[in-house]
Chains A and B, each alone.
Chain A
């Protein structure tokens, strides 16, 4: 597959680009997903592809990976035009892709997953040993420690991602496409990934890094290409550009990245957690005595690396997980281990769940039905025996307008909205009813800058109405931007609660890593 036909070099002394996309246009029925996109990736370079959800990044990458055929345009590898009809062709050309949702078999070992599809066979039997040795060698060369014999589902997400990268390298990938690789990682894991990416670059691999996170782009990319609505709207040099510039390019208008808010005027304690203990689904201790107060009119942010009990804490508060000891008081009423419905009603709480697809919405339901998911049984949506479709539709029209959910109609299925609009739909439903306590877990996970800005401003608006807000986020930036007080969770405990003014990034970072700082309580 390697031809040495010279092509016109795009950069004088760099030789032909490793990978080139020329005039790529991709039409789907009724939609222009990509329009005349030109892209060049050079050897030993990290190219960031930046764009909001639905900007056409994934379509473009699927074309480069052989999953789609372009309607028009050409792909060149090492200067010569190539035609790809399947990912197999792309792999043969040295292109590897790490998808946002990993393509691993959870019950199989690392070795088995890596050799899957290109099994090494010795006298009719699988030759796990030589593959295992190759994996060892690769993981040493690229500084990605992985035990080849461990089972995928036992591994943390960050390690699973390494397996995906190793899988591509095992197939001799020279070009790596990483699709939103940081969206599932903790800050530490992100830094680890960046180190791996730098090592790969120094060894001559070329990387396309797809993301919508501006800070990361500035940190790691050599060059930045921005897509908007299927078109290339600009290139930028990370040395000279700024987050504001990139955001404006992405969204097409000026965006406020800072959250504007007045100092909080906190009132009475609304949520009172005392010595809460709870288990994970596997029966291991997840919460080991959590006590926390949230007052009306303040935002308490819970910072911490994913998996330190935040998920379980939110579930205990909202009634989705039983507390094995301790108490939950909302507005002075003991709602420990009450049913989710009772907590919603008596506690007047709303809950933006961590995973909108898993908990927050029913994909197959219309926007209108999704908007009554937690109030369908109440008047006027339901009058005793029957549901009132008209009231449900009218309620939906109002919320869609108020929360700027972009949908062709309220009868459109929730699944067909973009991620940002799905999240706005969830937020609209939860914020759109009378509440006293707002529990928001990862309220802006995986959504675009424009929607993040909107949801942040809504959270602050709720606080200013005097509502108590418990915010959980794995993105320290989000915690720092929104919180009035910051509680750090480590190992199922709250290791410190700091007022925002005393919470420096360094101090929080240390606490998140489990290092106790000066006079913090240890419990």
Chain B
């Protein structure tokens, strides 16, 4: 049954792309059905969506701008998946990264940008790293499941972020430490100093910053780490078979904590880049919804760094084109979230896709089984 030929690698790549592509297609079709049911014209909506995402320079800029955080939170979730860990905490890690980055970014006036910016980015990574390491440590030493702990820590991070910029109350409650005193009743930080802002690659109206290269570099780095280094070998071994990893002399506990910390660091970097590159400040509404989307992106990308890049680009385009779609066709932009949710459903349940498109069962592991193995605990 084994057909080991030189084309095996190519076949495998095509196969890996098959289910996610079909899942996306199925989600778009299902979205069209929803539109028809609510009396809208799916053709008009999708052409508006495409135009909004790729129609002109500004469209491309929107798509790329939205892609950046998806890449990093997707990588965060995917990296943890490789070790059979389920990082639901990218959202909280994103917030911690934002807060830490902004704390450095609004202080240290007078630092040259080549010190201030890296410092702020590193602070963001550290915030996420810390927030990822906690569930790792708790898992190793107490057996607490990382899913529960990361979900809980999302709330903690979100509330912590809100507290740091708390504007104070009418009865003179103490405002948060990062609150902008000039902002009146608005809960937000001051603007990040110029020396800590990520410079524009294309300035307004395009607003694409150099963070796009950081995201690309992160994807390549994660790919290299997982597939080319001894550490990655250890991580994958722990992910596939924890007992075999112990047998092989791998420090399983260390690997779990390190992976969760690195995953957190990636999501933290996402927060830092969004804050330092785009928002230039932190406010509670710049929360970590993009962290949850990271789960979908990771699964759609088959937990492979290159797949994550593609999936993040897809999600970036969907988000980037949503407003134009609504403007041009009257279909509410919220339909995009329905489509994104359907993508997750279809990717997580590849059997449905196989049934719809009459595919034969394949032996390769796919994202759906990544979900079930993470829960299986074996």
Contact = CB atoms under 8 A, between A and B. Distances in A.
B246 A363 contact: no
Interface in A289-327: 318, 320
B1 A362 contact: no
Contacts of A71: none
A387 B228 contact: yes
Contact of A365 (B2, B8, B240, B243): B240
Given A363-B241, A382-B230, A340 B249 contact: yes
Interface string B288-317: 000000000000000000000000000000
A387 B246 contact: no
A362 B229 contact: no
A412 B230 contact: no
Interface size, A (range): 35 or more
Contact of A387 (B1, B229, B241, B363): B229
A373 B1 contact: no
B133 to A, nearest CB: 22
Given A386-B229, A387-B230, A340 B241 contact: no
B85 to A, nearest CB: 16
Nearest to B8: A411
B237 A362 contact: yes
Interface stretch (A4-12, A28-36, A101-109, A475-483): A28-36
Contacts of A454: none
A416 B1 contact: yes
Contacts of A377: 230
B244 A373 contact: yes
B365 A364 contact: yes
A81 B166 CA distance: 80
Contacts of A339: 249, 251
Nearest to A30: B1
A376 B244 contact: no
A320 B365 contact: no
B240 A362 contact: yes
A412 B244 CA distance: 19
Given A339-B249, A341-B249, A412-B4, A361 B244 contact: yes
Contacts of B230: 376-377, 382, 387
Contacts of A386: 224, 228-229
B368 to A, nearest CB: 15
Interface stretch (A14-22, A122-130, A352-360, A498-506): A352-360
Given A387-B233, A411-B8, A412-B4, A362 B244 contact: yes
Interface in A407-424: 407-409, 411-412, 416
A239 interface: no
Given A365-B237, A387-B230, 7 more contacts: A358-B241, A359-B247, A360-B244, A362-B240, A363-B241, A364-B365, A376-B248
Interface of A: 28-31, 318, 320, 339-341, 344, 351, 353, 358-365, 369, 373-374, 376-377, 382, 385-387, 407-409, 411-412, 416
Interface of B: 1-4, 8, 224, 228-230, 233, 237, 240-241, 243-244, 246-251, 363, 365
10 contacts: A320-B246, A340-B248, A351-B247, A358-B241, A358-B243, A360-B247, A363-B241, A376-B248, A385-B229, A409-B2
